[in-house]
Amino acid sequence: MDKDGGCAIDAKFRAPVWVYGFYIMWYLIVTLFVLIAVALVLEGRMTTEGWIIFPAMAFFSIAPVGLHYLFVRGEQSLEGILQMLTDEGSLIRIE
């Protein structure tokens, strides 16, 4: 948008709000599974196959963070965007 002969840019660099809701639900489910597994261990009802729940839940606990670093553009992309905006801002307007 034009503003006083210049340009104002309104932008945000973060995840959409629904992603935070997803993370809350994801970690509540992971926590529920771990609590159930711990209760089974304390009651002595955990089967041999049931022990796989602990490494699986450890994996599911770090999966969102790992996927974030894999697929989300990081600081380098932000620096590239800022550099492009700086370069564009230094251009002279010809009328």
pLDDT (tens digit per residue) in 1-27: 555 666 666 667 677 889 889 999 999
State residue 85's pLDDT score.
Answer: 78
pLDDT for 94 beyond 70: no
Task: Classify residue 74 as exposed, middle or buried by CB count within 10 Å of its CB (0-12, 13-18, 19+).
Answer: exposed
Strand partners, 3: 6
State residue 62's pLDDT score.
Answer: 94
Give the DSSP letter string of 45-88: ---TGGGGHHHHHHHHHHHHHHHHHHHS--HHHHHHHHHHHHHH
Instruction: Please give the model's pTM, rounded to 2 decimal places.
Output: 0.63
Average pLDDT along the chain = 82
In angstroms, rounded to a whole number, what is the distance separating the alpha carbons of residues 59 and 53? Answer: 10
